[in-house]
Structure 1
Amino acid sequence: MTKSDIGVIGMGVMGSNLALNLVEHGVSTSIYNRSYEKTEATYEKAKNTISNDAMQAFKTLEDFVDSLAFPRKVIIIITSGEATDAMINALIPLLSKGDIILEASNAYYKDTLRRMEVLKAVGIHNLGVGVSGGEEGARNGASIMVGGDAQVYALVEPFLAKAAAESVFGKCVARNPDNPKEFLIDNVLDIAGAKGTGKWTIQESVAYDYPCPTIAAAVYMRNISGWKKLRLECHSKFGFEKYRPDNKLPPTPKEFIKHVEESLYGAVLVAHLEETSIEFSTVLLIELEVAGVELTVPLAEFFESSCIPVEF
């Protein structure tokens, strides 16, 4: 059996599309999911839509690990938190010193730092990986930012570059610096999502005294959107039209769409400004200087392609 270049664990929407992306670009890829049905579905999709046979599917974690070329490179892209911890614990006895785990499970950076220390003790490398672009990016080209050791990153960068988006500035994949703590930008993708990244971004902005009101408002609006029953009750009780601020007629559909587009574009620009303000906060820069780390990623260029807000 030919050994695969890389392995992907987690055949949900992101993992499945990332695996298909890698295979389509000639990266031999082994796939595994806790429930084999999803593994099989991804494999069948690759067989029916991609001309090469670079994908291998496995029912057991042991066979999956055994299928990988040394040093083994394993992308974990499953639910963050306890599920990721459990998967890493299951992998540890199967991996060898020098193998690499790429943690792409949308994890809180402090969890990634903790896992790095645990894996370092047994000689296994861990990289924190942010994949920005959602389902579309995972399948057709994402912005991929990696935190971790430079030499370890060099071993995986050629494969990640295959799956990365490409802009006028080049491939949207980069590593900087050693500590994944500095990578908050990938959270812009999910500023109003329910996975916790928006909340984490707000927490970091408070910790470093850099406000991000637009991102915070987006998170709060996402929370409110989940209260549909209460909103409907309020609408029924209080109504809406009689509280209009003026007597102007509602805009035409065309005018309304234009207003929404302009408002959304403005909000996107402000959200990017807020995020980069956190990224380049004085406290962070001092910490980087003390650690001897030079921030070299051109953030605006890096997200020129495949970042969901830019697509608007």
Structure 2
Amino acid sequence: MKGTYDFGLVGLGVMGRNFILNVADNNFTAFGYDLDTEKVKALREEGGDTSKVDATTKVEDFVQALSLPRKIMLLVPAGQIVDTVIEGLLSYLDKDDIIIDGGNSFFTDTDRREAYLSVKGIHFFGAGVSGGAKGARLGPSIMPGGNREAYQYVKPIFEAVSAKYEGEPCVTYLGPKSAGNYVKMVHNGIEYGLMQLTSEIYDLLKKGGDFNNDELHQTYANWNAGRLQSFLVEITSEIFEQDDDLGEGRLVDKILDKAKQKGTGKWTSQNAMDLGIPVPSIDIAVSMREISALKEERLQADKMYGRPKVEQMDKAVLAKLAEEALYFSFIITYAQGLHQLADASKEYGYELEIAEIAKIWRAGCIIRAGLLADITEAFNADKALPNLLLSPSFTEKVQVTVGAARTLVAYAAKNGIPVPGLSNSLTYFDAYTSSRLPLNLIQAQRDYFGSHTYERLDKEGVFHTEWDKK
């Protein structure tokens, strides 16, 4: 057994077990490590042939089972536990061994760990893994970043286990340092935005058109067969069909309207503000999860203020508007996230190729969608494209759908249906495409009360005015 296994994995929870079995299915031998004996037992039973996949609860046995240079992937919760696992491995590792963090670690933690381990001769890189438990087993989208030379040892394994889009593996080397974890963070931020938008459209259909669950299922299924084809639209259609095993009716109607979060959406939003990049569709998706947590206060406020009586809309008309508005807002959300990636690449020296990122998101990951093939083409046509909205290939896509977004935002506002994701997407579009914004007044205000100065349209330089003549 000593030194015979190609790949090591720490953390044999659902994601870890599925990923290591995926490795074994693709003709690489794999060895796992977990302190939980039941998880080790479960892997052995499901894996069958221990010459292909095995595991242990002893760290020394785990490390010694791996061939050199050792390729060890961590699929453990982000945070302190990652540092604890690394420290537990260090005394058993050799120079040029490789540690891969496959969790959702904050990108600055990855930079810190890489600097710490490089001094010890150990290669470290972060690799975002998207696709959930099923994706881990059958083929996820993988986003690795770090030392390019070290990645070459892992590349054959990652390409084998990743999802495939028209035969191409949904994995590529993204860039140095924490590029992989950063891209995965923004991927999750986009995910927040798309999920919020999908739920808002559901709310509009239900309240504005009195769609029942069967009609909602069919509507989303029809959309998934068209230009809105995506994993999230697909699973949404299936959710409306799910019966409640614990009672009568459909399960979706029994689920509490409080959504949790693990932090990656918040990190995306916070970092975008640090960079000065507007991502309002993602920002509001994070805020809405926070508002949803205020359930008791929302119940009290509802009684105090009441709701407007909703004017019903023709179902066919509403469904058409909803499809167009969702497509429009999906484009806007991707545009915001990719804009953030492009700017972060310059700020942090990631050397990201946006077309390559869109390309590996086409299958396997949670935000996979038919739209990403068009996005890939747009950034291949212009690798310096600062924003998707500036691509000529997207002009018509936006122009023919923005009207529906305007109609539904106005309708929702009149009828008291909250659609902040849709309205933020529309506002972002209107602001980004406006050659003149009222921020000249804000500059005047800042100079008035704080002598912060301003610039002029008609003259070069920086100016200050003594505004208060009293």
TM-score, with structure 1 as normaliser: 0.85
Cα contact 1:185–1:276 (8 A) shared by 2: no
- Does 2:198 match 1:166? no
Distance 1:13 1:269 in 2: 33
The answer on whether the counterparts of 2:106 and 2:182 sit within 8 Å (CA) in structure 1 is no
Unaligned runs of 5+ in 2: 193-259, 371-470
Number of aligned residue pairs: give it.
300
CA gap of 1:230–1:28, structure 2 versus 1, over 3 A, is: farther
User: Do 1:133 and 1:189's aligned partners in 2 also have CA atoms closer than 8 Å?
Assistant: no
How do residues 261-272 of structure 1 correspond to structure 2 at under 5 angstroms?
264-272=326-334
CA distance in structure 2 between the partners assigned to 1:13 and 1:308 by the alignment: 17
**In the alignment, residue 29 of structure 1 is paired with which amino acid?**
A
The answer to whether the 8 Å contact 2:342/2:354 transfers is no
* Aligned equivalents of 1:256, 1:224: Cα separation in 2: 27
CA 1:91 to 1:265, structure 2 compared with 1: closer, same or farther past 3 Å? farther
- Aligned-pair distance for 1:37? 1.4
Question: 2:444 — aligned with what?
Answer: none
Partner of 2:362: 304
Q: State the distance in 2 between where 1:108 and 1:229 align.
A: 32
1:94 and 1:297 map into 2 onto residues whose CA distance is: 40
Query: What amino acid is aligned across from residue 196 of structure 1 in structure 2?
Result: G
Show the counterpart of 2:376.
Answer: none
Q: Which moved more, 1:191-200 or 1:145-154?
A: 191-200
Q: Percent identity between the aligned chains?
A: 31
Aligned pair partner of 1:134 in 129, 132, 135:
132
Q: What residue number does 2:346 align with?
A: 285
Show the counterpart of 2:379. Answer: none
Q: Which residue of the other structure, out of 308, 311, 316, is the alignment partner of 1:243? A: 308
> What whole-Å deviation, never above 9, does each CA across 1:37-93 have from its counterpart, x for those lacking one?
12222332222xxx8851111021111111111111100010111010100011111
User: Is 2:125 aligned against 1:67?
Assistant: no
Cα deviation for residue 190 of structure 1 reads: 3.1
The letter of the residue matching 1:173 is: V
Task: Deviation per CA, 1:274-307: give whole Å up to 9, x if none.
Answer: 11101112x643663xx8x574762222211122
Q: Give yes or no for contact 1:188–1:271 (8 Å, CA) kept in 2.
A: no
Alpha-carbon separation, structure 2, partners of 1:53 and 1:255:
60
Q: How many angstroms does 1:262 deviate by?
A: 5.8
Contact 2:8 2:32 in 1 (8 A): yes
Q: Compared with structure 1, are the counterparts of its residues 258 and 76 closer, same or farther at alpha carbon in structure 2 (3 Å cutoff)?
A: farther
Counterpart residue number, 2:30: 29
Q: 1:272 Cα deviation (Å)?
A: 1.6
Partner in structure 2 of residue 56 of structure 1: 54
Q: Flag the structure with larger Rg.
A: 2
Secondary structure in structure 2 of the residue aligned to 1:80: coil
Give 2:308's aligned amino acid.
Y
Q: Is the 2:33–2:40 contact (alpha carbons within 8 Å) kept by the matching residues of 1?
A: yes
Instruction: Give the number of the structure whose residues are more often strand, by fraction.
Output: 1
TM-score (norm 2): 0.58
Question: In the TM superposition, what whole-angstrom CA distance separates every residue of 1:229-266 from its partner, at most 9, and x where no partner exists?
Answer: 44344445555xx424x4326x76x9988877665554
Matched residue, 1:223: 290
The Cα offsets for residues 10-53 of structure 1, whole Å up to 9 and x where unpaired, read as 11222122112111112211111122212222332222xxx885
**How far apart, CA to CA, are the structure 2 residues paired with 1:127 and 1:14?**
19
Mark the runs of 5 or more structure 1 residues left unpaired by the alignment.
none
SS across alignment from 2:172: strand
> Alpha carbons of 1:208 and 1:39: their partners in 2 closer, same or farther (altered >3 Å)?
same
CA distance in 1, matches of 2:74, 2:156: 18
Given that 1:182 and 1:279 are in contact with CA atoms closer than 8 Å, whether structure 2 keeps it comes out as no
Select the structure with the greater relative contact order (CA < 8 A; seq sep ≥ 6).
1
